[in-house]
Structure 1
Amino acid sequence: MYDIVVIVLVGVASGTLNAIGGGGTFVALPALVAFGVPPVAANAVSRIALAPGAVASAWVARRDAAPLGGTSTRALTTVSVVGGALGAALLLALPSESFDAALPWLLLFATLLLAFGGRLSRLMARAVGEDAVLGPRAVLAGQFVLALYGGYFGGAVGILMMALWSVGLRLDAAAGNPMRLVQLAAIYLGAAALFVFVPDVRGNLPLLLGMLGGAVAGGWAGAHLARRLSARLLKGSILTVAATTTTLYFLAA
């Protein structure tokens, strides 16, 4: 019972973080590994568990999600689902040792994006010029690559989406957040559709269900909280979790 309570709280925290700016992976994945789930299976379990929470966040934000760069919401979402599924297939096809070795570096990459993503986005925007705007095909191609990464690992994929849209479409972060939530849900659902067939996932069903329930509650609440809390406070909290998790993984490697 104690384990279930803990994993539900982990789900709440992960779902909330994903809704308010990203970073739920930094909580969910290490928690499952701490419960004895192998890293690849933990990645799969966390993606399935966080998918309904992402959907709950997307549902709250759906009316504010506007089409991007001349693409339709349906086309962008389709690309996200397909890319997420292919990224999940890549994770399952490669040897588990390759993911184990790459995990600390993926966490570090995601942490750096969380810390410097906004600054990098501004520097890139200056470099490409004020008039540079991605066409519909480029937007869809970029989204496919991000969805592929999101299906394979997913850490800070929401930050990457906002960076792409900010640089290529001059989209304000606040205006783009509803669409970010919709596309994050699509990527998670695409990956989860493959991960449900992994035997280790079914073997950790109590953990999966506990985290799933918590993530739905956290995703729903987080989508509302994101409209009220300080952006600086949110980013600081997420970055603290990310940096701590990354450091612990490198120390354990």
Structure 2
Amino acid sequence: MTPFEVVAILFAGCAAGAINAVVGSGTLITFPTLLAFGVPPVTANVSNTVGLVPGTLSGAIGYRSELGGQRPRLLRLGPASLIGAAIGAGLLLWLPSSAFDAIVPALVGLGVLLVVIGPRVQRSVAARAESRGGIPDHGGWWVWPAILLLGVYGGYFGAAQGVLLTAVLGIGLVDTLQRHNATKNVLSLIVNTVAALVFIAVADVDWAVAGVLAVGSVIGGQLGATVGRRLPPAVLRGVIVVVGVVALLALLVD
């Protein structure tokens, strides 16, 4: 890599780490950057996943105070992300991309819609739960398989994974948006780590690229967590919608 490429990839990693901590979709910055510098698509995807794992961990640590009391929830939903990620990583390595890529814009669009209507649906869910004498902690039966499917998506590519996770958590679980964001960061960390381990074992990782991305994403993860934790729910939801729409447009144009 030339010095210019190193600096560009470093900044892309920093931006992706910050966006992933707050919303998700950081891959839409780093992946096109790697392609622009001539990295083959599959190698770019694999190296990007490996390189962004430290940044995802950094963002999760930055949101650690919002994880208080969420251990049972994470123990239940975490395995869904783990299993889904392993399946998704396998799909990337063994199947053509066209079939799965065809539904990515639809998934992102659905995620944005769910984030927009989430507060109204969540209030309705909370009211029904209160009338039954309690508020659901783990959500309905559909939340676990939804997290599993998003794990498949995240293991395969992962762009806008955070938007989709936040949407599912906001609809299915009654909690604050900031706590959903903390949960999203942990589930994303599980997905990215599992996929990265699979890629390291059997795929061609460009370690120079992954290393530069890792440094940038760690810095960005802390910056994103610092900013994101201070955003009120309405502003954070607006950021999620904007990033989701940009991700959708980028995928459609691509």
TM-score grouping bracket, smaller chain normalisation? 0.7 to 0.9
Distance in 2 (alpha carbons) for counterparts of 1:240 and 1:119:
12
CA contact (8 A) 2:13 2:220 kept: yes
- Letter paired with 1:86: I
The residue type paired with residue 246 of structure 1 is: L
Deviation at 1:166, TM superposition (A): 2.1
CA deviation after TM superposition for structure 1 residue 7, in Å: 0.5
User: 41-50 vs 79-88, which deviates more?
Assistant: 79-88
Q: Is 1:209 the equivalent of 2:193?
A: no
Instruction: Map 1:160-175 onto structure 2 (within 5 A).
Output: 160-175=164-179
- Per mean C-alpha deviation after superposition, the further-off stretch among 121-130 and 70-79 is 121-130
Gaps of 5+ in 2: 130-135
The correspondence for 2:247, drawn from 234, 242, 246, is 242
1:192 is matched with which residue: 186, 196, 199?
Answer: 196
Between the aligned partners of 2:57 and 2:179, the Cα distance in structure 1 is: 19
The structural deviation recorded for 1:181 is 1.0
SS in 2 for 1:36: coil
* Cα distance change on mapping 1:212 and 1:129 into 2, 3 Å: closer
Q: Which residue of 1 aligns with 2:5?
A: 3
SS in 2 for 1:154: coil
Deviations 1:143-167 (A, max 9, x none): 2222122111212222222222222
Separation in 2, partners of 1:239, 1:72? 25
1:109 corresponds to 2:106: yes
Which shifted more, 233-242 or 5-14?
Answer: 233-242
Judged with a 3 Å threshold, the aligned counterparts in structure 2 of structure 1 residues 105 and 39 are, in CA distance, closer, same or farther, namely: farther
**How much does 1:114 deviate?**
5.7
Quote the sequence identity (%): 31
Secondary structure at the aligned position of 1:41 is classed as helix
For residue 80 of structure 2, what is the amino acid of its counterpart? Answer: V
Q: Which runs of structure 2 are paired with 1:1-253 in the superposition (5 Å)?
A: 1-66=3-68, 71-94=72-95, 98-99=96-97, 102-103=100-101, 106=104, 108-109=105-106, 111-113=108-110, 115-121=112-118, 130-131=127-128, 138-201=142-205, 204-229=206-231, 230-231=235-236, 234-235=239-240, 238-239=243-244, 241-242=246-247, 245-249=250-254
What is the root-mean-square deviation of aligned Cα atoms in Å? Answer: 2.9
Deviations 1:14-52 (Å, cap 9, x if unpaired)?
111101111101111111111222222222111111111
| Higher alpha-carbon deviation: 46-55 or 169-178 | 169-178
Residue number in structure 1 paired with 2:132: none
AA partner of residue 20 (structure 1):
V
CA deviations over 1:174-233 (Å, ceiling 9, x no partner): 2311111111111111111101134431xx222111111101111111111112354367
Q: 1:67 to 1:247 in 2, by over 3 A?
A: same
Q: Choose 12-21 or 239-248, whichever is displaced more.
A: 239-248
C-alpha distance in 2 between matches for 1:213 and 1:4: 11
Amino acid at match of 1:142: A
Would the aligned equivalents of 1:71 and 1:136 in 2 still touch at CA under 8 Å?
Answer: no
Single out whichever of 156-165 and 8-17 deviates more from structure 2: 156-165
CA distance, structure 1, for counterparts of residue 222 and residue 34 of structure 2: 22
Q: TM-score, normalised by structure 2?
A: 0.81
Partners of 2:99 and 2:37 lie apart in 1 by: 19
Residue 196 of structure 1 aligns to a residue in which SS?
A: helix
Instruction: Assess if the C-alpha contact under 8 Å between 2:107 and 2:164 holds in 1.
Output: no
Shift of 1:125: 5.5
Q: Secondary structure at the match of 1:197?
A: helix
